[in-house]
Amino acid sequence: MSKLKTKDPHIRELAALVSGPYSILYEREDLLAYDCDGFTIHKHLPKAVVFPNTTEEVAAIVRYCARHRLPFLARGAGTGLSGGAIPVNGEVIISLVKMKRLLEVDLENRRAVVEPGYINLKLTNSISDKGYYYAPDPSSQSCCTIGGNVAENAGGAHCLKYGVTTNHILGLEIVLPNGDIIEIGAGGIPDAPGYDLLGLFTGSEGTLGIVTKITVRILKNPEAKQTVLAYFDKVEAGSQAVSDIISAGIVPAALEMMDKTAIEGVESAAFPVGHPLDIEALLLIEVDGISAGIEEQIDHILTVCQRHHVREVKVAQDEGERARWWANRKTGFGAMGAISADYLVQDGVIPRSKLPEVLTCINQISKESGLRIANIFHAGDGNLHPLILFDARIPGQAEKALEVGSACLKVCADVGGSITGEHGVGIEKMNEMRYIFSEEEISAQTDIREVFNPDRLLNDGKLFPSPGRCVEVKLAKQAEKV
């Protein structure tokens, strides 16, 4: 490794635990790239960033940190949206980007084994010629890692039919905060005996251990796929169409909605496809499965749309058109940059039947706050993503955006929903946990954290509100944003 320009003994010791070049970053200008993740409102510098190559190196780093009581956390691609990888305690960041191998593909038993830094979309790309794919498809799938997906229990547009990450994880190798290495999930067989630690670790947001190997389920490519785009003058009509499609017993692979502001955004950004700008709602609906029956499902969907006075509805004519529609949708969050200086994405879940009522409330919150809100979301499973548009250069707007986001989540919680569907709690929604959990219910969870992470050195100050005191929320200095 290259010569270190520091005398800090921890940096030197940590560097020595990792083989090869580029083992550690520790200078301020390097660390700046690691001061936040996809949740950009909070920024904190890590002590250092280490780049292990193997499970054993991860375990050695963890043991070193534990022995010297250095706080630490794991990081994948840093695309998380709730701040789970932000070093709020000046952590040593254990970056898993070098552990990015595809270790095994077992088509016969429909599973693959990857390292945590392996990019989500690469898995599908590497098995698609054999007719297989990996289902969870967060919008960031071209750059996010499967390790990060496990930490956040990531979702995606196609989770309506196929389930979120936890439904596709068959086994995990984990380095516990004391440096022990365990394997859970009985070698890739689901429904392992004993407690469901696989479910417990998936979505634990990096607070219980560091995942170093992942066995995932892979699926056979559907024989056929059809995609429908429908434009509605009224948002209520679009919501009702969603409800009627599901009630008909059709389970679309994806059922996405965008509202007027969201459409303005995506049409102003990198992948415009010519959506009309004066409609209130757009539905993007995909069905897949064996060829026989797909046409009948599409006919049924078209009939439902007509019944709800759709302005225009069309079926993708080829894979190119389908891909353009999806690129337009999947870059929707980033597209907000075209119509707003900053945006904050929220992630609430509601019972599907409450959709019109909740959209009205969010609209009302937007009017009262003076901040525009765009809605891009997984309508089929009631997973909303209000995008709160603001300008961090205007004093007070970032704070107001956070308040508006919290108010939107309160609306979701009040109708019997939840405060996150797929983005996690992180540092962003710790306080909102109280909207849905009692003190006893939070204790039951923090008691479990005590089992694995008793010294709270691993990714502390996340996920749970600290009992008895207001959680400190520090906004990034305006100066850093501009």
Whole-angstrom Cα distance, residue 58 to residue 369? 46
Q: How far is the CB of 242 from a second copy (least distance, A)?
A: 12
Q: Find all residues with CB under 8 Å of 158, minimum gap 6, and list them.
A: 135, 136, 137, 253, 254, 286
Q: Find all residues with CB under 8 Å of 476, minimum gap 6, and list them.
A: 36, 40, 41, 42, 43, 398
Between residues 80 and 417, which has the closer beta carbon with respect to a second copy?
417
Between residues 191 and 472, which has the closer beta carbon with respect to a second copy?
191
Q: How far is the CB of 179 from a second copy (least distance, A)?
A: 11
Q: How far is the CB of 283 from a second copy (least distance, A)?
A: 19
Question: Residue 386: beta bridge partners?
Answer: 375
Question: What letter represents residue 203's amino acid?
Answer: G
Tell me whether strands 92-95 and 72-75 are parallel, antiparallel or unpaired.
parallel
Between residues 23 and 166, which has the closer beta carbon with respect to a second copy?
166
Whole-angstrom Cα distance, residue 459 to residue 139? 25
Phi-psi category of residue 21: left, alpha or beta, with phi > 0 → left and psi -120 to 50 → alpha: beta
Shortest CA distance to 218 belongs to which of 115, 119, 109, 144?
A: 109
Q: Are 80 and 423 in contact (CB under 8 A)?
A: yes
Between residues 13 and 450, which has the closer beta carbon with respect to a second copy?
450
Between residues 6 and 109, which has the closer beta carbon with respect to a second copy?
109
Between residues 92 and 150, which has the closer beta carbon with respect to a second copy?
150
Q: How far is the CB of 414 from a second copy (least distance, A)?
A: 11
Whole-angstrom Cα distance, residue 307 to residue 301? 10
Q: How far is the CB of 443 from a second copy (least distance, A)?
A: 9
Between residues 220 and 309, which has the closer beta carbon with respect to a second copy?
220
Task: Estimate the crossing angle of helix 397-414 against helix 355-369, to 10 degrees.
Answer: 160
Helices and strands: H and E segment counts in the chain: 17, 20
The residue assigned the tokens 């490794």 is: 1
Q: How far is the CB of 254 from a second copy (least distance, A)?
A: 16
129: tokens are 């010629």
Q: How far is the CB of 66 from a second copy (least distance, A)?
A: 16
Between residues 182 and 471, which has the closer beta carbon with respect to a second copy?
182
Between residues 162 and 231, which has the closer beta carbon with respect to a second copy?
162
Task: Estimate the crossing angle of helix 55-68 against helix 9-16, to 10 degrees.
Answer: 160
Q: How far is the CB of 39 from a second copy (least distance, A)?
A: 15
Q: Are 272 and 335 in contact (CB under 8 A)?
A: no
Between residues 167 and 369, which has the closer beta carbon with respect to a second copy?
167
Q: How far is the CB of 353 from a second copy (least distance, A)?
A: 4
Q: How far is the CB of 299 from a second copy (least distance, A)?
A: 9
289: tokens are 């499965």
Question: What letter represents residue 103's amino acid?
Answer: L
Buried b (16+ CB within 10 A) or exposed e, 187-213: ebeeebeeeebbeebbbbbbbbbbbbb
Whole-angstrom Cα distance, residue 218 to residue 204? 22
Q: Are 379 and 421 in contact (CB under 8 A)?
A: no
Q: Are 111 and 145 in contact (CB under 8 A)?
A: no
Between residues 117 and 171, which has the closer beta carbon with respect to a second copy?
171
How many angstroms from the chain centroid is the CA of residue 193? 29
How many angstroms from the chain centroid is the CA of residue 324? 22
Q: How far is the CB of 387 from a second copy (least distance, A)?
A: 20
Q: How far is the CB of 266 from a second copy (least distance, A)?
A: 25
Between residues 37 and 267, which has the closer beta carbon with respect to a second copy?
37
